[in-house]
Amino acid sequence: MASTTSTSSTTQEVSEPRLFGLLAEFSEASNLISAAAAIRDAGYKRWDCYSPFPVHGMDRVMRLKPTVLPWMVFAGGFAGATGALALAWFCNAYAYPLIFSGKPYWSLPANIPVAFPLTILLASITTFFGLWALTGLPRPHHPLFTSERFRRVTDDGFFIAIEATDPCYHTATTTELLRRLGAIAVEEIKD
């Protein structure tokens, strides 16, 4: 192992921050909407809007695709229902048949109470962790946190960030576009 080279390359990564993209601040929510529409029309793909509260109509303007989470939840709930019924059947009717109060070994009504909570349990667990997976949580750090200005996003700041990995991204022209759309400040984010 060439230990010296690997060490030097690590220090190089730390000393030279990677470019994340451009952060633009807008003065109010309506400007954010019109700017988002223009950025969408300009063909950008990897960008996002940040605001202190949900802005009505933003989903439509950004052309956000519906989430696949409901399908994951459905699969979770289905697995819970069938799993519970299969387990009850295997235990009570197949592996070790027992007679309880003169009821048949296997019967649907008796096992619905088991299937019901397990459906809910697996569906809610899928919802919880599915949401984490789809939103990329847990994420202790985000490049935008390096910006002093961005702190106001939880108070009164409206922002759009365009990532450098976007095929349309070009520092000069993108900055120019954001300024034209009414950004009161544009800064380069490095992390």
* Contact residues for another protein, defined by CB under 8 A: 54, 56-57, 59, 66, 70, 101-103, 109-110, 112-113
Minimum distance of another protein from residue 69's CB (angstroms): 11
Minimum distance of another protein from residue 74's CB (angstroms): 8
Whole-angstrom Cα distance, residue 64 to residue 100? 54
Which single residue is written with the structure tokens 């933003």?
58
Which single residue is written with the structure tokens 């809007």?
49
Residue 10 token pair? 């690590």
Stretch (H or E) spanning 85: helix 69-89
Minimum distance of another protein from residue 110's CB (angstroms): 7
Whole-angstrom Cα distance, residue 111 to residue 102? 15
